[in-house]
Amino acid sequence: MTFTRLACASIAVPSIDAVLPVYTEGLRMRVHGPVRTSQRGYGLRWVELGDENGPMIELMEPVGEAGPVHRFLERPGSSRIYQIRFYTDDLDHTLTGAAGRGVRVVRGPDVEGEPRLGFIHPGQTGGALIEVMETPGETP
Instruction: Determine the Cα–Cα distance for residues 32 and 58; give it in Å rounded to an integer.
Output: 10
- 35, 16 Cβ separation under 8 angstroms: yes
- Look at 15-19, 46-50, 91-95, 118-122 and tell me which has the smallest mean pLDDT: 46-50
pLDDT at res. 51: 67
- Evaluate if residue 41 carries a pLDDT over 90: no
- Evaluate if residue 49 carries a pLDDT over 80: no
- Evaluate if residue 59 carries a pLDDT over 80: yes
pLDDT at res. 86: 85
Phi and psi angles of residue 50, each rounded to the nearest 5 degrees, phi first: -150, -120
Instruction: Determine the Cα–Cα distance for residues 107 and 52; give it in Å rounded to an integer.
Output: 29
pLDDT at res. 8: 85
Q: What contacts 120, CB < 8 A, 6 or more positions away?
A: 98, 103, 104, 105, 106, 129, 130, 132
Q: What is the mean predicted confidence (pLDDT) over 61-75?
A: 88
First CA to last CA across the chain, in angstroms? 18
pLDDT at res. 137: 63
Strand segments (E) across 26-80: 30-37, 42-48, 56-62
Instruction: Determine the Cα–Cα distance for residues 103 and 139; give it in Å rounded to an integer.
Output: 24
pLDDT at res. 126: 65
pLDDT at res. 44: 93
Q: Which of the pair, 85 or 128, is modelled with greater confidence?
A: 85
Closest to 60 measured CA to CA, from 38, 91, 29: 38
Q: What is the mean predicted confidence (pLDDT) over 4-11?
A: 83
Q: Which of the pair, 59 or 3, is modelled with greater confidence?
A: 59
